[in-house]
Amino acid sequence: MKHQEDRLPPLIVHVIFRLAVGGLENGLVNLINKMPLKFCRHAIVCMTDHTDFRSRIRRSDVEVYDLHKRPGKDFSIYLDLWKLFRRLKPEIVHTRNLSAMEAQLPALLASVPYRIHAEHGRDVHDLDGNSRKYALLRRLFSPMIDGYIVLSHDLQQYLLEKAHVPPRKITTITNGVDINKFSPAHSLERLALPDQFAGKDAIIIGSVGRMELVKDQLNLVRAFIQLAGLYSDGVVKPRLVMIGDGALREPARQLLRQAGLDNIAWLPGTRDNIPELMQNMDIFVLPSLAEGISNTILEAMASSLPIVATDVGGNGELVEQGRTGFLVPQGDPAALAAAISRYIDDPAMRVEHGAAARVRCETRFSLEAMVSNYLRLYDNLLNTPGKATRAITTRD
């Protein structure tokens, strides 16, 4: 029988903490789904485990490996990673955020040719970026890493000033959104919302995201309680929709119940029909304490929604103040309520800012542009002179 030797595309191993619902994970899945099949192969290594979010990967050749890292210090993870990298023989290991950065050492010891690391946002235990410990960890790992990807200018400045990463190593690639999947509403019907929750005359204030401390949804709930008092005459009918699940969901519901507003708020948990739900909203709000480049802001912009967001992280790089939305201080319910109220009182401005947000997405933040930038980065790495690529062959 004649043996034929075929060269396989290079393998990129993406290392993340967990594959579940989240902006980082959504961006990774979008990238894998959109990259050309013949350019490279992909595998995902989860430091802990994965959920059914894996089913969103449309390619059948992507393996997902769970390492089940124990909480705290788990030094066995280094050996597990080293063994896995030696077996998979990737050309590139791409880690994301501090929780996966420790995989860079096993990648180096396993002789992985190219090692890159991405910073997608602030750590939940270091929201202001002032932790010396976390900055030192990044500085210690820097010599092992060939290149860094940051999603925002804010994260770039952090690496330069706090972790002392050389500028030549840093590339900025912002997130992108599928402007075909997320698009303006074509009907005034609120078909994705519960029956009798909101009529055509209601103003839907919406938010999407993990209901965890860093997203600070309780700030939005407190702002909504203030708004309900402002519009208690019933002429204007504000409604609150908060999509997502997490530790803050039940406290948010309790606050609404105590204020007697649970009948005009809908907190259904995680939903798969986010594009349709956004088409049912009038104003999108992101009350986070920290952000990288928010996927949900981009999705809302592509849906022609005006944005109210806290002025943290990369939000200011997405939202044009007074043109596509308003930025307010973090943790300030009164400021948040005041910005939302401006949109409630001015329907024409809602439409104008939403349309400008859509155009901004189309021209600067498309998914195609993001994928093109990653392709260019990976291609430049794989063709770097002086680093011989590993021959990967199959026989049949």
Q: Return the pLDDT at 387.
A: 57
Structure tokens at 314: 């990369």
Give this prediction's pTM. Answer: 0.85
Return the CATH fold of 5-176+368-395.
Answer: Rossmann fold (3.40.50)
Residue 393 has pLDDT above 70, yes or no: no
CB-CB contact of 295 with 175 (8 Å): yes
Residue 180 has pLDDT above 70, yes or no: yes
Give the model confidence (pLDDT) of 124-178 as tens digits: 788 788 899 999 999 999 999 999 999 999 999 999 999 999 999 999 999 999 9
Q: Which of 36-40, 115-119, 195-199, 355-359 has the lowest mean pLDDT?
A: 195-199
Q: Return the pLDDT at 190.
A: 86
Provide the 10 A C-beta neighbour count for residue 188: 8
- Each domain of the chain, given as residue ranges in start order, spans 5-176+368-395, 202-365
Return the CATH fold of 202-365.
Answer: Rossmann fold (3.40.50)
Same fold, 5-176+368-395 and 202-365: yes
Give the model confidence (pLDDT) of 307-336 as tens digits: 999 999 899 999 999 999 999 999 999 999
CA 180, 318, 28, 267 torsion-angle sign: negative
For the segment 233-254, the average pLDDT, to the nearest whole number, is 95
